[in-house]
Amino acid sequence: MDMPLRTGLLGYGIAGRVFHAPLIAATPGLDLAAVVTTAHDRRADVLARYPTTAVVPSVEELFALDLDLVVVATPNRTHVPLALAAVEAGLPVVVDKPLAGSTADARRVLKAAEYRDVPLTVFQNRRWDSDFLTLRSVLPSLGEVTRFESRFERWVPEVWDNWREHGAPDEAGGLLYDLGAHLVDQALQLFGPVASVYCELDRRRPGVEVDDDVFVALTHASGVRSHLWASAVAARPGPRLRALGSRGTFVSEGLDGQEDALAAGLPFDDLSTNATLTLGTSTASVPGVPGAYSEFYRLLVAALTEGGPLPVDPESAVAALEVIEAAFTSARTGQVVAP
């Protein structure tokens, strides 16, 4: 490849500033050519961190540039129209998770991309979390896995002024859409399709408009049960991951450190989390597999320049949305439902 792929980033909030911009800038074969933001402080931050990157105030101005790739890192309500705009322009596109607020809208985007023969993928970065990669590496040691537990639990007792906390349906806010998109995706990646879904959604904090305390139980077609939690009101989180098998148990504590490192502008490679593997009555520490968010964009460059597979099959994002929609139905009805 003679020239790096000129990449336009739509949005410079948490997703754009913390994840996409630094990962794009660090990936050989990519050039962070332009960022869309109208906020003065965000514009200043882009120019300070990425002096050769253009900052433009509108989507229209971004699409008028000579680009090779577009990344959609904007609020959830805009994912579908912006992804469709990129597809219509013939530009390969990365959409932050969730791809859409509904399965129907996600399918509409995928059909448009297929019709225009435009590569489209979804940023499911937590497939490259250290704890997740470590569990995958030891999964055969557990024998027949019967139950998988996964948690993203935090202590955020005050509602903050952000679209993720807004209750309008088109915002697709709340923890089930936000952290649940990761929890469900990881469970599907590990244990395959889901046969039934049960969900409890609660609003625990005063004045909150969206779900901030979530429990989802999945029964996979394989027979494995996944129990998933997301919470903003957990002062003491439970284990990040726990997997029970016929030969033993895997436990991982604490969150992957890549997000904090990226946010602080620190090196984010080679970070790993602590884990233990208990086989019978013997427990030992497990060397953590280093996290690798940068692998997403490395694979994307290979896909666009060499014809390799996309880092995330967008069909898998639709499958996760089907489970999330079933979870909302279950929470509303109190019933176990099929996705």
User: What pLDDT does residue 160 have?
Assistant: 87
In a domain, 214, yes or no: yes
Q: At 111, which CATH number? A: 3.40.50.720
pLDDT surpassing 70 at residue 307:
yes
Give yes or no: residues 144 and 235 share one domain: yes
User: What pLDDT does residue 165 have?
Assistant: 86
Give yes or no: residues 256 and 139 share one domain: yes
From the list 15, 38, 305, the residue with the least C-alpha distance to 182 is: 15
Give yes or no: residues 258 and 286 share one domain: yes
Q: At 260, which CATH number? A: 3.30.360.10
Give yes or no: residues 276 and 139 share one domain: yes
Give yes or no: residues 185 and 210 share one domain: yes
Give yes or no: residues 63 and 168 share one domain: no
pLDDT by residue (tens digit) across 89-120? Answer: 999 999 999 999 999 999 999 999 999 999 99
Q: How far apart are CA 114 and CA 71, in angstroms?
A: 18
In a domain, 312, yes or no: no
In a domain, 313, yes or no: no
Domain total of the chain:
2
In a domain, 231, yes or no: yes
In a domain, 116, yes or no: yes
Query: Quick one: tokens of 269?
Result: 């490679």
In a domain, 315, yes or no: no
Give yes or no: residues 242 and 253 share one domain: yes
pLDDT confidence of 161, banded at 50, 70, 90? confident
Q: Are 158 and 193 in contact (CB under 8 A)?
A: no
pLDDT surpassing 90 at residue 324:
yes
115 to each of 79, 88, 90, 108, 119, how far by Cα in Å?
Answer: 19, 10, 11, 11, 11
Mean pLDDT value across the chain:
96
In a domain, 139, yes or no: yes
Give yes or no: residues 92 and 163 share one domain: no
Q: What predicted TM-score, i.e. pTM, was given to this entire model?
A: 0.95
- Mean pLDDT, residues 127-155 taken together: 97
pLDDT surpassing 90 at residue 71:
yes
Give yes or no: residues 106 and 156 share one domain: no
In a domain, 121, yes or no: yes
User: What pLDDT does residue 1 have?
Assistant: 56
Give yes or no: residues 118 and 143 share one domain: no
pLDDT by residue (tens digit) across 224-272? Answer: 999 999 999 999 999 999 999 999 999 999 999 999 999 999 988 888 9
DSSP code per residue over 250-261? EEE-S--SHHHH
pLDDT confidence of 140, banded at 50, 70, 90? very high
pLDDT by residue (tens digit) across 165-216? Answer: 898 888 999 999 999 999 999 999 999 999 999 999 999 999 999 999 999 9
Q: Which domain holds residue 174?
A: 126-293+322-333
Give yes or no: residues 115 and 199 share one domain: no
Give yes or no: residues 163 and 266 share one domain: yes
